[in-house]
Amino acid sequence: MDYLKIKGGQKLSGSISISGSKNAALPLIALSILSKKMVEILNLPDVVDIKTLIKLLSNLGANVDFKDPHSCFIDTNFINSTKATYDIVRKMRASILVLGPLLARFGHCEVSLPGGCAIGARPIDLHLSALEKMGADIKIKDGYVIASAKNGLVGANISFDKITVTGTENIIMAAALAKGKTTIINAAKEPEVVILCEILSKFGVKIEGIGTDELVIFGRDKELLEIDKIYVIPDRIEAGTYLCAGAITNSKITITKCEPKHLKAVIAKLEDMGFSFEIKGDKITILPAKQIKPIEIVTTEYPGFPTDMQAQFMAICCIASGVSVIDERLFENRFMHVSELLRMGADIKLNGHIATINGKNLEGTDVMATDLRASSALVLAALVANEVTKVHRIYHLDRGYENLEGKLSNLGAKIERLKEND
């Protein structure tokens, strides 16, 4: 198993480029199930979660051919099984994204229940009840969702009680091949949902309300799509994480190949902390603050402040000059990084979903990664801690950050990947 050894206290400088978005790429890979043509996907991030979903599709019989680590061809005409087994789904909850497309194309599928995960129970009840409303028969047996729609799915009016990103994506893909019109009320508006809709509409699925919380999808009654090429948008969470690396070290760095309009809430909060920005095309430069000020953050759905950036901002709050408050509204157990930051000397008090952070200096020590974004917060904290921090269990980071240590080294950080027992 690998760990990261980081020597804190280095200023960063220079520029790095942002990879394709993991959370956008996952539904786009699942979308290939709806295509009768071989799909080429470009700008894939080279991260473990992508490989996990590709493995799932290969296990179903799809032909996948990687041209290079960032682009592949997927031919789903060879699919001969519609069972997504536990051994893969347990590795990544987002595997549930194959449920809607498999059911829509083949009229039946079995997908293992994802189970619990580090950041809370994360149920899939909203995905299932929406598919039932579209005519699917759903049973839960031996830990599997067994779904069938022998005569195909039919359009329906769906109103989500909670905004769900992968739930919206699943239903959009199911609705694309359903018979008739599906309306999704209270749909997620994340850029990852928008790009999925844009690609579907480019390839012949009429969708109204793209980018709003009410989508109307006109289903093609089982007629498969002819998707040839898909380009994955830049990863706004990876981009935000590197802006936080610039912020926590109070350095001037530039990120390139990003989409500034997806980062408005993150940039606004960093401005509140005293940082300023130069934004030109797909480049963002963060400029140091005179003093890193404390802030208040409430996580919410897009375009609000993303829960996927909460841990990284908490790392900055740990060294800000004053008391910050972070209110985590989306997930009930997304403070796993707190106990590790406490080990680094942070002053954080937790009260339910609210964390109060009193800024002070951090100390290097051994810490353990617990989930994807929590792990990146520990790396950020280590960049400014006294002496050396070792971040263990970094397989969590490898799920979603491409070459994190390489990119941070390019910016001048003293960071190396080592094997446990080295």
Q: Which residues are annotated as a binding site for phosphoenolpyruvate?
A: 22-23
Strands 157-159 and 181-185: parallel
Q: In the bound complex, what is the minimum distance in angstroms from residue 4's beta carbon to ligand UD1?
A: 22
Scored b (16 or more CB within 10 A) or e, 255-276 reads bbbbbbebbebbbebbeebbbe
C-alpha–C-alpha distance, residues 382 and 365, integer Å: 9
Residue type, 312: Q
Element (H or E) spanning 386, and its range? none
C-alpha–C-alpha distance, residues 115 and 329, integer Å: 21
Unique residue bearing structure tokens 């749909």: 187
Sign of torsion, CA 114 198 222 181? positive
C-alpha–C-alpha distance, residues 95 and 306, integer Å: 21
Q: In the bound complex, what is the minimum distance in angstroms from residue 299's beta carbon to ligand UD1?
A: 8
Residue type, 363: E
Residue by residue, DSSP assigns 163-213 as --HHHHHHHHHHHHTSBSEEEEET----HHHHHHHHHHHHTT-EEESTTSS
Q: Which two tokens stand for residue 51?
A: 């490989």
C-alpha–C-alpha distance, residues 118 and 193, integer Å: 24
Q: Exposed/middle/buried for 422, CB within 10 Å: 0-12, 13-18, 19+?
A: exposed
Residue type, 186: N
Binding site for ligand UD1 (CB under 6 A): 23, 26, 93-94, 122-127, 162, 164-167, 192, 307-308, 330-331
Decide if 35 contacts 226 (C-beta within 8 A): yes
Q: In the bound complex, what is the minimum distance in angstroms from residue 162's beta carbon to ligand UD1?
A: 4
C-alpha–C-alpha distance, residues 208 and 71, integer Å: 30
Residues with a catalytic annotation lie at: 117
Decide if 281 contacts 326 (C-beta within 8 A): no
Spatial CB neighbours of 332, under 8 Å, sequence gap ≥ 6: 120, 121, 353
